[in-house]
Amino acid sequence: MTPEAILVSLLTPAVVVGWLLAPYLLAFFGALVPELGEWPLLLCCLATVLMALPSLLLGESISLNLVGSNGISLSIDATAAWFLLLNGVVLGATRLASRNLEGASGPLVPAVMLGGLNTCFVVTDLISLYVALEVVGIAAFLLQLRREAPRSFWIALRYLLVASTAMTLYLIGTGLVYVRTGSFSMEALAGLELGSAQVLILLGLFSKGGLFLPGLWLPRSHAAARPEVAALHSGVVVTAGVLPLLRLMQIDPGLTPLVRWIGIASAVLGLLRALTETDLRRLLAWSTLSQMGLVALSPMAGGLMAFAHGLGKALLFLMSGGVDSTHLNSWRQRPLPARLQVPLWIGSLSIAGFPWLIGSIAKSELESALPPFWAAAVLLASIGSVAVYARLWGAPWCAPNGSNKGSNAVQSPSGGSITLLVVVLIGASALISLAVAPSHDAEKLAVTGLIFALGLLLDRGLQRWRPALERRWPDLESLQDLIGSLAVVGAGMLLSLHVMEGWG
């Protein structure tokens, strides 16, 4: 027997189910016996990372079917493995970060979150996905509540209200699928004519995944959350809605144009808003919206893209907890110590697509997996990403422990979490470079150089117009707009399906 076969044979149904259940049991017993503490959760994170490795290293996908024909089917394939890896790493890092933060939540809700996200990433039927997404939504809501900030109650309520409405629509979609095909599995969508069932399901997933107008709850929620919670939400939680989209696109290629147009619209909207934003956290949140749009473009490259973005964004959000003021207008006047500058530079360079870092490898994989028109759109979007992050690179460096002794020093996350993320990001970049061997030929480097130059120029050019532009944006983030956007985007998708049918 080869080592690969032995490794795969170790992953029996009992092991997989035990791994899925462990975080939930941990949350239950953690409430009864608080002395258990943090370590079991960190072990669960490690188990999640280990669970992802066989699929990533060996290319083996594991699928299980529990309890017969109408039972639950699970699948850990290469795409899901990237999301699992991301979940294990980022959740572990945010737990490390919250250990010395005042007022951080205990391990119970994060344990439920870990379990919910793992379930989201491996299930392949619509109803289990619904339950897992609701679990993730409720855990995300609980994590957003902050006793010291009354404002957070409104932000969290708004999130839960929009998410529950979107998931109600999703549930109607699954009901329609069942009536037409007699099954709740995602494969059932393959033979189904495009119509309202798919549109309702997509609406739910768009809203959960922070895509385009239904996902506009995201900037305010992520900007108002505690830094370690925002890191978790922006890094992993939004991807819970995006992976099912990728799976559905693989099963039913007819959905691809619809999802791609929404994805690119989301990428452009996020970039435009991020370019004119004056608050660091909101800039990061808008950038999440735009990057999720890019992740949704291709099922082949989406996993790596989400992994690269999640690591970088978690670093940036953890870093944002340590700065004195998140206002960007005076960013260039405030020196930052090296312990904040290093995560800032590595995280933002990776997302902007600097060569040899994981973000650029993911972006080139994405471009090669897409048809030429879409690849060109991704290239244009990456100019915008550079311009967005160029503003963060202007902060001067200062000596360690220099200025950061203000009131916010308590909120600065521990070095352990940031070190872990930096090591994983650089390690993963090196490993993937070795495995994929991307060709850093002169032509490609020249294109990247051109993108960076254009991005920096765009940032310079925008400096004068930024305040005027920011005031011009319509406010689409009120609760009424968010619920209305579900109706508008749903109606738009149905209409476009009819138009496409007319052309076809």
Q: Under the criterion CB under 8 A, does residue 487 sit at the interface with another protein?
A: yes
Identify which of residues 150 and 372 has a Cβ nearer to another protein in the complex.
150
Give the nearest distance from C-beta 487 to another protein in angstroms.
7
Q: Minimum CB separation from another protein for residue 241, in Å?
A: 16
494 contributes a contact to another protein by CB under 8 A? no
Of the residues 120, 223, 259, 294, which one makes contact with another protein according to CB under 8 A: 223
Pick one of 172, 342, 426, 462: the residue that binds another protein (CB under 8 A).
172
- CA distance linking residue 93 with residue 120, whole number of Å: 20
Q: Residues touching another protein: how many (CB under 8 A)?
A: 40
Letters for 25-64 (x = contact with another protein by CB under 8 A, - = none) are ----------------------------------------
Give the residue among 291, 246, 249 at the shortest CA–CA distance from 269. 291
**37, 57, 63, 168: which one contacts another protein (CB under 8 A)?**
168
Query: N- to C-terminal Cα distance for the chain?
Result: 52
Binder among 60, 134, 187, 324 for another protein (CB under 8 A) = 134
Query: Applying CB under 8 A, does 179 fall inside the site for another protein?
Result: yes
What's the min distance (Å) between Cβ of 452 and another protein?
31
By CB under 8 A, residue 127 contacts another protein: yes
User: Does residue 329 belong to the site contacting another protein (CB under 8 A)?
Assistant: no
Looking at 43-51, 57-65, 97-105, 147-155, which segment touches another protein (CB under 8 A)? 147-155
Q: 48: Cβ–Cβ under 8 A, 6 or more apart, which residues?
A: 19, 84, 85, 87, 88, 91, 114, 118
DSSP string, 210-234: T-TGGGTTHHHHHHHS-HHHHHHII
Q: Which residues of 97-115 are buried (b: 16+ CB within 10 A; e: fewer)?
A: bbeebeebbebbbbbbbbb
504 binds another protein (CB under 8 A): no
User: Min. distance of Cβ 178 from another protein in angstroms?
Assistant: 6
Nearest to 58 by CA among 75, 44, 41, 77: 77
Q: Is 212 left (phi over 0), alpha (psi -120 to 50) or beta?
A: left
**Other Cβ atoms within 10 Å of 242 Cβ, number:** 26
Whether the CB-CB separation of 208 and 163 falls below 8 Å is answered with yes
By the rule CB under 8 A, 67 interacts with another protein: no
Residues 224-283 within binding reach of another protein (CB under 8 A): 224, 281-282
Choices 116-124, 207-215, 254-262, 477-485 (CB under 8 A): range interacting with another protein: 477-485
Contact 428, 356 (CB under 8 A): no
**Which residue of 61, 105, 165, 408 would you call a contact of another protein, by CB under 8 A?**
165
Does 184 help bind another protein (rule: CB under 8 A)? yes
Under rule CB under 8 A, residue 153 binds another protein: yes
Q: What number of CA atoms fall less than 13 Å from residue 136's CA on the CB side?
A: 28
479 part of the interface to another protein, by CB under 8 A: yes
Q: Which of 161, 268, 420, 456 binds another protein (CB under 8 A)?
A: 161
Residue 141 in contact with another protein, rule: CB under 8 A: yes
| Listed residue (409, 399, 210) closest to 321, CA to CA | 409
Q: Are 317 and 227 in contact (CB under 8 A)?
A: yes
CB atoms inside a 10 Å sphere around CB 392? 22
Judged by CB under 8 A, does residue 192 bind another protein? no
Q: Does 181 bind another protein (CB under 8 A)?
A: no
d(CA 359, CA 351): 5
Q: Is residue 191 exposed (0-12), middle (13-18) or buried (19+ Cβ within 10 Å)?
A: exposed
Contact range with another protein by CB under 8 A, out of 6-14, 95-103, 154-162, 429-437 = 154-162
Please report, as ranges, the residues that interact with another protein according to CB under 8 A. Answer: 70, 127, 130-131, 134, 137-138, 141-142, 145, 149-151, 153-157, 160-161, 164-165, 168, 171-172, 175, 178-179, 184, 220, 223-224, 281-282, 478-480, 483-484, 487
